[in-house]
Copies of this chain bind each other. A is one copy, B any other.
Amino acid sequence: MNYLKSYIMKCFQIAWFIKIHSCQKAVWLLVLFALTTFTFQTNAQWGRRPVVSPDILNDNSVIFRLYAPDASSVKLSGNWMQGWGASMELERNDTGLFQITIDPLAPEIYTYSFIIDGVRVLDPGNFNIVRDGVRNESVFTIRGEGSDLYAVFKVPHGTVSKVWYPSPTLGMDRRMFVYTPPDYYTSDVSYPVLYLFHGAGGDEDAWTTLGRTNYILDNLIAAGEAVPMIVIMTNGVPTMAAAPDDQPVDLEIDRINAGGPGGMISGKFEKSLVKDVIPFVEKNFRVIADADHRAISGLSMGGFHTQMITNANPGMFNYIGVMSMGLFNDTRLGNYNKDEHVAQIKALKDSGVKLYWIACGKDDFLYESVVNLRKFYDDLDLEYVYRESTGGHTWPNWRIYLAEFVPMLFK
């Protein structure tokens, strides 16, 4: 992220190397060239000068810079800005360097992009990128109390594994991300399991990249605030096997021809979770296979999946977390049956659920649906814990929700 520093460091390294080793031969310069050239070539190739962007100052204000002498306009669009599509104009100096300094930001992970002459692009000066499904954004972190839970500290780290499993229900092998806690491979202990679902537009990668789930768990476990657990992060789109780069080539055609609501609201993912995923996990990992040691949660579409699965399977999960998703009562889905829904919630109530947790932001565009869900549960006397946050339908909220939900599990 910090190009100037790394550039100076490189020069220093080479100078030092030449000094201490008294290099005399051209072939050693060639070696040095081989070992250090790529970064330099990269800088040159990408039209970069030693321009630092973003440059986080001590007071947590941030300077964004872009060297673009031939561009007429450069704007900055960041997820901390208010209003849909908000952006700010960078100012050009006489060398063609565009720059803007923004007011101090609270500790958090932020995403942003530049708009160069009307085209929205990633910041070429920042190699840190996060992908959320088909969307990429430049990313940076303001360190502090609000973001340290997502940072990598000197604590024991769990393992994140990309595991393929058979899904007879969906007729394909599929990929999941599995977090196993720090002591998993050195102990004989069996662990509880949290099943954790992404939202529409995401995939099995989202909860570890944007969600920082593994580091949230590492930090909470190290602090003694969470029980060591396994986290299973599936792909919630039943017509997909895996994230784009890992999608089998034979499935691409089916995906395009699949048509119909296919994926999201077909009920197929929910079936595969119960019939394929849970049996696979409980066979292949050291888990405690009962309701007291199964938790389930998801955001947005994943909150929908969470409800569908727990409604249909009372007694399977004793810890349930629904993030940024309400709905269901007072709707007319073709196959929606309110009596059945009521019966499901009553069965859930009787099944011994230890925690039913609902979280939503005040500005979430699904806020009303959550109000309706709570009313529905209130009418049926289903006990739940409600957590209302500021903000909307965003990853900062989902990371916070996860960090609050996990310490309540399996205790």
B-binding residues in A (CB < 8 A)? 1-2, 5-6, 9, 12-13, 16-17, 20-25, 27-28, 30-31, 33-39, 42, 45-48, 66-73, 77, 85, 113, 115-122, 124, 127-129, 131-136, 143, 151-154, 156-157, 159-164, 172-173, 175, 182, 185-186, 199-201, 209, 242, 244-250, 256, 258-262, 264-265, 284, 300-301, 304, 325, 327, 330-335, 365-366, 368-369, 372, 393
A365 B248 Cβ-Cβ under 8 A: no
Partner of A372, one of B27, B72, B164: B27
Asked whether A256 and B301 contact (CB < 8 A) given A34-B365, A135-B42, A199-B38, the answer is no
Asked whether A45 and B120 contact (CB < 8 A) given A159-B161, A259-B16, the answer is yes
Residues of B within 8 Å of A131, CB to CB, are 127, 129
Asked whether A260 and B13 contact (CB < 8 A) given A127-B131, A332-B25, the answer is yes
A46 B113 Cβ-Cβ under 8 A: yes
The CA of A113 and the CA of B24, in the complex, are separated in Å by: 38
Contacts A/B (CB < 8 Å), 23 sampled = A5-B256, A9-B256, A9-B259, A20-B334, A27-B327, A27-B372, A34-B365, A35-B300, A36-B264, A37-B200, A38-B135, A47-B118, A47-B120, A68-B117, A68-B119, A119-B124, A121-B122, A122-B122, A127-B136, A127-B244, A154-B172, A154-B250, A157-B175
Copy count, this protein chain: 2
Partner of A121, one of B116, B134, B300: B116
Nearest chain B residue, comparing its CB with the CB of A152: B248
A160 B161 Cβ-Cβ under 8 A: yes
A153 B248 Cβ-Cβ under 8 A: yes
Residues of B within 8 Å of A73, CB to CB, are 70
Asked whether A118 and B162 contact (CB < 8 A) given A152-B246, A153-B250, A248-B154, the answer is no
A28 B331 Cβ-Cβ under 8 A: yes
A34 B200 Cβ-Cβ under 8 A: yes
Nearest chain B residue, comparing its CB with the CB of A260: B16
The CA of A42 and the CA of B242, in the complex, are separated in Å by: 20
Partner of A25, one of B46, B172, B330: B330
Asked whether A159 and B159 contact (CB < 8 A) given A116-B119, A250-B153, the answer is no
| Interchain nearest-CB distance for A156 vs B (Å) | 8
B244 A128 Cβ-Cβ under 8 A: yes
The CA of A344 and the CA of B135, in the complex, are separated in Å by: 52
The 4 closest A-B pairs by CB, nearest first: A70-B118, A38-B201, A21-B334, A157-B164
The CA of A45 and the CA of B201, in the complex, are separated in Å by: 14
Residues of B within 8 Å of A152, CB to CB, are 242, 246-249
A121 B121 Cβ-Cβ under 8 A: yes
The CA of A164 and the CA of B175, in the complex, are separated in Å by: 22
